[in-house]
Amino acid sequence: MASSSLCFPTTSAAGARTTLRPDVSGFLLSGHRPRTQFKSRSFDVRCSLDSNVSDMSVNAPKGLFPSEPEHYRGPKLKVAIIGAGLAGMSTAVELLDQGHEVDIYESRSFIGGKVGSFVDKRGNHIEMGLHNWILGFQLEHQLHGIRAFLSTNQLKPYDKARNALALALSPVVRALVDPDGAMRDIRNLDSISFSDWFLSKGGTRASIQRMWDPVAYALGFIDCDNISARCMLTIFGLFATKTEASLLRMLKGSPDIYLSGPIKKFHLRWGCREILYDRSTDGETYMTGIAMSKATQKKIVKADAYVAACDVPGIKRLVPPTWREWEFFDNIYELVGVPVVTVQLRYNGWVTELQDLERSRQLRQAAGLDNLLYTPDADFSCFADLALSSPEDYYLEGQGSLLQCVLTPGDPYMPLPNDEIIKRVTKQVLALFPSSQGLDVTWSSVVKIGQSLYREGPGKDPFRPDQKTPVKNFFLAGSYTKQDYIDSMEGATLSGRQASAYICDGGEELVALRKKIESQVLTEAASLTDELSLV
């Protein structure tokens, strides 16, 4: 069996018409034997994504995003962005739309950060993680979710009743009539865990184990005892109130092509080693440049504004130690990344085809469940068959399922050798899908990320920094930064929009600061010349 592996120690939008099967989307809350019921009803989703990239003005879940920024009329700025993850790319797109000059610097050989992917020597697309999107949906589909909850055999009627009670007493109900008030209530629940909140409202342990833990693992890679009530309720509130944001979808192919592909041309392969800064005579700290390196080459980049769009370990390495005197920067060190392991397994048949054994053994046509799946019965709470859900790059003629499984918590798997990880995951796949008995794994890959999302534990939200920092020409972006959303693709994108808005707001001041820095440099050079001539 061929295999690939990667370790990062610290550091659809579908085509024109895609067929979805709502009955199998979301949950596969299986017991040891899958007991999901499948209905054949299908419906079509139409979207204007023919050119590989979503037109966000049409397709974005509008409720999530602030309205389009006003057209910028200030001076054109030169902006240097460190990090080409979604936050960096989103900042770049927003700034380019406003007419600024932008460069994105990325230390890795591929862009996209945690949502990045690349093609290995054998043509396999390796992804940093399994990603799904929250897209347009309608009331009909929310009702479908309620029907699924009522009919699932994963929870006993008693647990369902207690669940209903807990949700009825949650800010989610208030969100239906007063979304802003509900959001305030949700923020105030940051200091307790979801388990503590849920149990205090009458919810049961069984519901946590069978239903909410897989959701918590998928959202934050930690369980309900460790995730903050704010994090979980933010998502529930969103699903309850935004009829346009309640559908999980996946890209039709690899993120490298369908997500970050169009922005590749802006990417410059340089890592930032150091933030260079100075202090003016009036005591103001400002950046003077960023020291960059690529292999043995080094250079200094100067700009009007600098954006660090890094992950948590990346920003901790970049902040100059003396800046930790500011509580703003010191708080960042309270945030810690969660380890996660993503495993891909290619089979010589269709693992999730449960109804027709013959179909699961043929390789002429893809067969099985074509959406994101959750389970409480495996170490990967969240998985999908990419050959079905994102077929453009992952379906290969003459080959079968490509399961992508996200192992959460990743901690116990981090020290294990890849062979052992693959052995354990394969065994659990077989326990979930006994009908796949006899299918072979023909290729596999393991990607370990030592610190991925920040740990959204109770009491951590106040430590997330704003995009605007105490250093006037230095800004932050990144899914861990302050925005009313969790650490996610949407959060990263939102942080980029906010960083860009701050930069545009400060356009005049940033130009004034650049002039001040230039004149200070000239004054210093002149006084140096005077000193030299005196000598």
Ligand X SMILES: Cc1cc2nc3c(=O)[nH]c(=O)nc-3n(C[C@H](O)[C@H](O)[C@H](O)COP(=O)(O)OP(=O)(O)OC[C@H]3O[C@@H](n4cnc5c(N)ncnc54)[C@H](O)[C@@H]3O)c2cc1C
| Binding window for ligand X (CB under 6 A); candidates: 36-44, 65-73, 113-121, 468-476 | 113-121
Q: Is 436 left (phi over 0), alpha (psi -120 to 50) or beta?
A: alpha
Residues in the chain: 535
Q: Is 522 left (phi over 0), alpha (psi -120 to 50) or beta?
A: alpha
Rule CB under 6 A: is residue 310 a binding residue for ligand X? yes
Q: Residue 491 in contact with residue 479, Cβ under 8 Å?
A: yes
Selected from 136, 171, 203, 478, the binder of ligand X by CB under 6 A is 478
Count residues near ligand X (CB under 6 A). 41
Instruction: Using the minimum distance from each CB to ligand X, give the nearer residue, 155 or 219.
Output: 219
Selected from 154, 344, 479, 500, the binder of ligand X by CB under 6 A is 479
| Binding window for ligand X (CB under 6 A); candidates: 21-29, 32-40, 76-84, 497-505 | 76-84
* Terminal C-alpha separation, the chain: 74
Stated as kind and residue range, the H or E segment containing 146 is helix 139-151
| Binding window for ligand X (CB under 6 A); candidates: 25-33, 107-115, 328-336, 429-437 | 107-115
Rule CB under 6 A: is residue 82 a binding residue for ligand X? yes
User: Between 489-505 and 86-97, two packed helices, what is the crossing angle to 10 degrees?
Assistant: 40
| Binding window for ligand X (CB under 6 A); candidates: 15-23, 27-35, 118-126, 303-311 | 303-311
Rule CB under 6 A: is residue 452 a binding residue for ligand X? yes
Query: What letter would DSSP give residue 371?
Result: S
Query: Which stretches within 362-482 are classed as H helix?
Result: 386-389, 391-394, 418-432
| Binding window for ligand X (CB under 6 A); candidates: 145-153, 251-259, 306-314, 418-426 | 306-314
The CA distances from residue 287 to 109, 302, 306, 430, in Å, are 27, 9, 8, 55
Selected from 314, 368, 376, 400, the binder of ligand X by CB under 6 A is 314
Instruction: Using the minimum distance from each CB to ligand X, give the nearer residue, 66 or 181.
Output: 66
- How many Å apart are CA 204 and CA 195, to the nearest integer? 9
Closest separation in Å from C-beta 472 to ligand X: 21
User: Between 229-241 and 179-187, two packed helices, what is the crossing angle to 10 degrees?
Assistant: 170
| Binding window for ligand X (CB under 6 A); candidates: 92-100, 127-135, 347-355, 467-475 | 127-135
Q: Residue 166 in contact with residue 205, Cβ under 8 Å?
A: no
The C-alpha angle 246, 252, 255, rounded to 5 degrees, equals 95
Selected from 490, 499, 500, 501, the binder of ligand X by CB under 6 A is 490
Closest separation in Å from C-beta 292 to ligand X: 8
Q: Is 187 exposed, middle or buried (0-12, 13-18, 19+ CB in 10 A)?
A: middle
Selected from 61, 83, 214, 339, the binder of ligand X by CB under 6 A is 83
- Touching ligand X, residues 264-283 (CB under 6 A): 271-272
Rule CB under 6 A: is residue 406 a binding residue for ligand X? yes
Q: Which residues of this chain interact with ligand X, rule CB under 6 A?
A: 11, 82-88, 105-108, 113-115, 128-132, 271-272, 309-311, 314, 318, 340, 342, 406, 449, 452-453, 478-479, 487-492
